[in-house]
Amino acid sequence: MTLSPLPLSDPLGRLLSLLPPKERARVNEAVDGLHHTNHRLWLEEDAVRADPVDTVRIADGKRAIDQLNMDRVRFAERLDELIGAVCPPVTTTASLHTEPISSVIDRLSVTMLRLHHTQLVAADDPNAGSRVAGVQEQVHDLRESLTLLAEDVATGRRRLPSGKRFKLYGTTFRTDTRPIPSPNLPRIIALGGMSECGKSTSGMFLNRDEEAARFKIGYLLTQAAARHGLADPYALSPTRQAELLLDELNRFADAHPDIELITIESVHRAESITALKEMTGERLRVVYIDVPLNIRLERSGGDRRALEEKDRVKSDRGADRIPADEVVDNSGSVARLRGNLWRMARPAISPRLKIISPEDLRLPFTVRAATSRLVDLLSALSEERCLAALTGSAVNGGWHEGWSDIDLLVIAEDEHGIRAAQTVEEYRAELEELGGIHLGATILPLVEAQVRRLPSRVLAALVMLQEGAPALLAGPALRLPVITRREVERDTSAALAEAVATTRRLRHDPGRGGIRPLYKHLVLICRLLLREQSVWVNGNDDVVSEAQRLLPGLGRLDLPELPEVIAAHRNGTDRAAVLGAIVTAVDQLLAWYRRQCAA
């Protein structure tokens, strides 16, 4: 027989009608959690009684029962908190009920479980059938009593006592020494703030965008308490709570040494997070998400009094007094919030970039002279906080006159953006006069770079610069985020899909599928496919060669040598044959890619 749920929409109808949809869903989650926990408690207690001489099983069962009882208390207190936030104001003359609503719901849950198990027994034992009707009557009476209580509370005729449980056994347990951070413990961002400020949204962003391990502080405390046999971690001193938190974080970090960032949500006890900060030092960054009440109210869709009551509960715990290293204003757009989170997840640094003089580039003299003038003009704008770099073949020795572009990356402060753009346009005009050399220029505001609002190709260029590729200009006050290869590789699939779509357009649109664009996009697809496998290759011939070797089932791409391709593009030498070979190779690569997606 399947366990029946605990439907309370009728008994609690009057109270639930006062809650916005989001809060009603939270009440239902707490009720479901309480009922499921009671079900597991019933089974665990039966299992302990099954063999009274198996001391190991009894000890293990006792630990499980303690853990489940802690969960039971947590769900009950959550229910009282949610319902208490919506209860209308009452006078002291309103009659006081003997217990909080969660206690009535808890007894109803246990009685429903008793009915369930009695029915199981009655199916095999006719003598137990008479008990079923008695338990059904208890369920009916409890539901009726709960309905009347909910109506009295909703109308202010009855007030409820505090539902706080003060379970103290097991609170004297201590370790001999204070824990210290594990060498594997990564950076931690602890997110605090008042109700509906965006703590969970921030945790979700960092989990998705930064692959951060995401925890609720209550979960960590409950797990640590269960591990040490403690009944109620919230009855412990702030220092002891911090020790438990650090112990649990250390355990996770040691088991997952590749994790680079952990987030903790719902930080609302000022003293315990202060103690944790003292133990972890700079590893822990406490962030307070700040949003005015009127904006939180608008976003939550709730009523003002309920939100203020939830804020009061959090304030009583110290949520508005946490020792924040940084306060984030979340009253603006999602883009602004994500930018702040990205900046905190990977703080900007002053990179030590290798600088190359334009005169040392393996480019024609006239191009080097024009590039030198560009650097001088950019230096005059903002030498302290400006980056200028050539990327691709212009710096790796693979530049071919009449074939290769000049690819330029400029990052400058906002106030210098217009002048930087004018300077780049002057450089573009010079290159055009020097034989129609095409300039592919990317000019970015420094603030966008610092929060990594960058396309994949720019991220890849910054990786190469930070790994030793030379820049033309990098001011001493320039601060940029550290970009890792893994971050670029994670975004490669989107860049690859875009490159494939562009190549298909070039291949099938009449007049667009020329030698140069088709060849360059074929090489780009191969480069991105390799990058998905964490293989980074420069140079057209090397990229194609490695793709043929490492991509299973691709086979040989019968491409002409690059000098033949350049001659066909510039002079028309064997143009039809070269273009035909490139088209065949492109079709082969696209067909292989399609098969891989289908697989």
Q: Mean pLDDT, to the nearest integer, of 68-97?
A: 81
Q: Do domains 187-345 and 358-484 have the same CATH topology?
A: no
Q: What pLDDT is recorded for position 382?
A: 67
Paired sense of beta strands 158-159 and 95-96, if any: parallel
Q: Mean pLDDT, to the nearest integer, of 199-213?
A: 93
Q: Regarding predicted confidence, which is higher, 313 or 126?
A: 313
Q: What pLDDT is recorded for position 2?
A: 66
What is the percent of the chain with per-residue pLDDT over 70, rounded to a whole number?
Answer: 95
Using the predicted structure, report yes or no on whether residue 4 has a pLDDT greater than 80: no
What would the pLDDT profile of 399-429 be if each residue is shown by its tens digit? 998 899 999 999 998 878 889 999 999 999 9
Residue 193 per-residue DSSP state: E
For residues 566 and 514, give the distance between their C-alpha atoms in angstroms, rounded to a whole number: 12
Tokens of 29: 């989650």
Where does 187-345 sit in CATH, by number? 3.40.50.300
Lowest mean pLDDT among 96-110, 226-240, 260-274: 226-240
88 pLDDT tier (thresholds 50, 70, 90): confident
Domain 358-484: give its CATH architecture.
2-Layer Sandwich (3.30)
The answer for residues whose C-beta is within 8 angstroms of residue 90's C-beta and 6 or more apart is 156, 158, 159
Q: Mean pLDDT, to the nearest integer, of 100-112?
A: 91
What would the pLDDT profile of 538-576 be if each residue is shown by its tens digit? 887 889 999 999 999 999 999 999 999 999 999 999 999
Using the predicted structure, report yes or no on whether residue 301 has a pLDDT greater than 80: no
What would the pLDDT profile of 174-190 be if each residue is shown by its tens digit? 545 678 999 999 999 99
Cβ neighbourhood burial of 588 (10 Å; 0-12, 13-18, 19+): middle
Q: What pLDDT is recorded for position 471?
A: 96
Query: Residue 170 CB: number of other CB atoms within 10 A?
Result: 17
When the pLDDT of each residue in the chain is averaged and rounded to a whole number, the result is 88
For residues 360 and 233, give the distance between their C-alpha atoms in angstroms, rounded to a whole number: 65
SS3 helix, strand, coil % of the chain, rounded to 5? 60, 10, 30
> Where exactly are the structural domains of the chain?
13-159, 187-345, 358-484, 492-598
Coil vs helix vs strand at 266: strand
Q: What pLDDT is recorded for position 316?
A: 86
- Please identify which residue in the block is written with the tokens 């299973």: 552
What is the percent of the chain with per-residue pLDDT over 90, rounded to a whole number?
Answer: 50
What would the pLDDT profile of 390-400 be if each residue is shown by its tens digit? 998 999 888 99
Q: What pLDDT is recorded for position 494?
A: 92
The answer for residues whose C-beta is within 8 angstroms of residue 415's C-beta and 6 or more apart is none
What would the pLDDT profile of 507-524 be if each residue is shown by its tens digit? 988 666 799 999 999 999
Q: What pLDDT is recorded for position 236?
A: 83
* C-alpha torsion angle, residues 552, 556, 559, 563 (rounded to 10): 90
E-strand stretches of 376-504: 387-391, 406-412, 439-445, 473-474, 480-481
Please provide the distance, in angstroms rounded to a whole number, between the alpha carbons at the two ends of the chain.
Answer: 42
What would the pLDDT profile of 323-358 be if each residue is shown by its tens digit? 999 999 999 999 899 988 988 888 888 888 999 999
Q: What pLDDT is recorded for position 87?
A: 79
What would the pLDDT profile of 449-489 be if each residue is shown by its tens digit? 988 889 999 999 999 999 999 999 998 888 998 898 988 99
Query: Residue 215 CB: number of other CB atoms within 10 A?
Result: 21
Paired sense of beta strands 439-445 and 406-412, if any: parallel
Backbone angles phi, psi at 351, to 5 degrees: -70, 145
Q: What pLDDT is recorded for position 554?
A: 95
Contact 9, 77 (CB under 8 A): no
Using the predicted structure, report yes or no on whether residue 172 has a pLDDT greater than 60: no
Q: Mean pLDDT, to the nearest integer, of 217-244?
A: 84
